[in-house]
Structure 1
């Protein structure tokens, strides 16, 4: 809007009939820079989310292996955002990333085994992408979160469909991407189909697209946290909770529980009531549904070698304990890609970086990770859950989907931090409805603010 700075009696200049705005190398008639930036952000976010969910099992042959398609999807999306002038390089992240990368490269000269340079290159590419961010409005931020929530509703529907199919017929009737995708384009090293227990006719669902059930469980757990923090829709809270439990994987539950202390400290009476009701309903539901009987054997797995629980939570600790007995472990390791290749063992990021790159690189990498997740983030409650998920629940370092989902939900978008100063529980979120905002992200019916500069 053009406002005259002259006296009240001076005639106002005529408003141009057509505005031509140049933004990031693109021009659109009648479109403001804010609208163009929001549209570009939403398009790119949707594309990255699509690669992380629908294309998890897809890859491209590269250097004798298969590179996850999500790396290509994120790279192309970032190039698009650069062309649109939306993407910004975070200088602190870049410095921390550079320190880690230099340390990791130097450590390879002292490695005890020949390093895998494709593995080092993959790590370098994944976390260089994570050095970028987008300055956006609160409306754009919440629309992106809404997009993620809607996608997970679809994932939940597919999960329940799988359960229905195997109850009525059998899991043999599931669509199996391992049979549909050519081997040279299939991202492997994950347990795609996993029986509920040894010899069972029932299988844990994977919503068809997910590499394994533990990743599905974590994505649903992330959606549950987002719902509690921002939107608080009762039917979605119920849906996410039911699907997370019906996946029969504990990783999503651990993710949610890790962030719950922060959620409870800053919760509203509405959320407190919902959580209290859930705590009353959950125990009988767990026992009556048979969920506890199906997973109770996992509790004792920590003390039994070659079991899932032991290989997820005990094997990494043993490996690090043995590795750090060596004095040279401070500055070097076995070399990139040389940690034991066992698909049954979940190498924590702490263990993998330590064993392959040494202590100094491990410290620098996790400083970078913590800064990306927590610095200027709209909600530290979600960031805490994502940190626990990345470090302890996945073999995360060189798996793009695990690093990129943390970046997408807590590292990419940087809205106005005043969003955190709203009432605990998200007063903004409970009133948020994308249909109430116009294409510029401005609430419909609000009074536009005039600018003296036009």
Structure 2
């Protein structure tokens, strides 16, 4: 019976975790719109999981908040311009979070390790992409040759590390952008430090993170690992700090590292990548007329409006701009229950990634990762684990007992 449950429960989630990485760039074109393949696969996999898992059900709190949000949004949409596609797209992305499903202890650990293996594979690919260029080869990205009808548009799959360089940023081939690659690597490092402490893997992740030349992964790693470090035993804390310092020192002293560090001054320019992501979206939302600030401009209008400076909307400013302050409060409470209900350092890290660093509200590549990974990590007692366990083998035994 246990083997049967294991098979029924794991393969849809394994497929989701696999797809969240290796199928990120694949999309289906329908008319003038694109639907990422990962969204279709997520909805199908969720249906299979709910049908095969007898311990599944619905979160009453979430369904109350979500449908209250939809009710207000529908009322505020009257006599406004809006995108029906954007509105129903949001519903399709977030309805799966209304359901819960539980797994056996060993299944959770097995699935988390599979996810880390997928990240490790792309880490080696990303490092190879960079090294191959250093020895005179061209940038390797087979997916770039696929038709635009089958690949996700609107993203820079890679670009030069600087305007005068021939070296392209590593994207691990399968990630939408080097930035998203770096964020997945940071999440991998957080999970490894929290649970398994396989230091050789952490070194590989750090090296791959460096060759993405992306600041978002570094920001996520710094924000997430600070609370973890204070819970580690002294020798493990020193080991991680020394490894990190050596790798960062070698990187910072190189020509590539100096370019990456020079981007810390980007916030001073309204046209910079930093301002586009972290400053301009909030300015646009807050500068709206009072009625638009309260009730929103309408779903999809953030993508249809031309602004005086470049804007890349993350979750919160997009919610505020399109749906208004009142519905946004309900949706933020909905998100809080998703990420913080029995949360821990991994779920907090995923929250930071989702809210501030990724493509945000309507990016299935990120949202579907949250849907498949959060149920595996939310109920693990990391505080006990970090105090009691030091070796990977003992970690695995302890985690199986705790989950």
TM-score (norm 2): 0.90
* 1:217 correspondence with 2:190: no
SS, match of residue 370 in structure 1: helix
SS, match of residue 67 in structure 1: strand
Counterparts of 1:167 and 1:414, CA distance in 2: 38
1:193-208 equivalences in 2 (<5 Å): 193-208=158-173
SS, match of residue 195 in structure 1: coil
Q: Is residue 232–residue 430 contact of structure 1 (8 Å, CA) maintained in 2? A: yes
Tell me the number of residue pairs that the alignment of Structure 1 and Structure 2 aligns: 397
1:52, CA displacement in angstroms? Answer: 1.1
Q: Is residue 252–residue 261 contact of structure 2 (8 Å, CA) maintained in 1? A: no
1:320, CA displacement in angstroms? Answer: 2.0
Higher helix share: 2
* 1:137 correspondence with 2:67: no
* 1:95 correspondence with 2:85: no
1:183, CA displacement in angstroms? Answer: 2.2
* 1:431 correspondence with 2:393: yes
Any unmatched runs of 5+ in structure 1? 1-31, 444-454
* 1:409 correspondence with 2:373: yes
SS, match of residue 183 in structure 1: coil
Q: Is residue 17–residue 373 contact of structure 2 (8 Å, CA) maintained in 1? A: no
Q: Is residue 82–residue 298 contact of structure 2 (8 Å, CA) maintained in 1? A: yes
Q: Is residue 228–residue 271 contact of structure 1 (8 Å, CA) maintained in 2? A: no
Counterparts of 1:200 and 1:77, CA distance in 2: 43
SS, match of residue 204 in structure 1: coil
* 1:151 correspondence with 2:104: no
User: Which residue, out of 182, 202, 222, partners 1:237?
Assistant: 202
* 1:186 correspondence with 2:155: no
Q: Which runs of 4+ in 1 moved over 6 A?
A: none
* 1:166 correspondence with 2:137: no
* 1:351 correspondence with 2:351: no
1:125, CA displacement in angstroms? Answer: 0.7
Greater alpha carbon shift after TM alignment, 417-426 vs 189-198: 417-426
Could you tell me which residue of structure 1 aligns to residue 83 of structure 2? 116
1:196, CA displacement in angstroms? Answer: 0.6
Higher-Rg member (1/2)? 1
User: Which residue, out of 384, 391, 399, partners 2:363?
Assistant: 399
Could you tell me which residue of structure 1 aligns to residue 211 of structure 2? 246
Any unmatched runs of 5+ in structure 2? none
Relative distance call for 1:297 and 1:42 in structure 2 (3 A) is same
1:306, CA displacement in angstroms? Answer: 1.7
1:284, CA displacement in angstroms? Answer: 2.4
Could you tell me which residue of structure 2 aligns to residue 381 of structure 1? 345
Could you tell me which residue of structure 2 aligns to residue 334 of structure 1? 297
CA root-mean-square deviation: 2.6
Q: Is residue 57–residue 187 contact of structure 1 (8 Å, CA) maintained in 2? A: yes
Counterparts of 1:175 and 1:292, CA distance in 2: 23
1:397, CA displacement in angstroms? Answer: 0.5
**Structure 1 residues 260-283: Cα deviation after superposition (integer angstroms, max 9, x where no partner):** 232134323343232332354245
TM-score (norm 1): 0.81
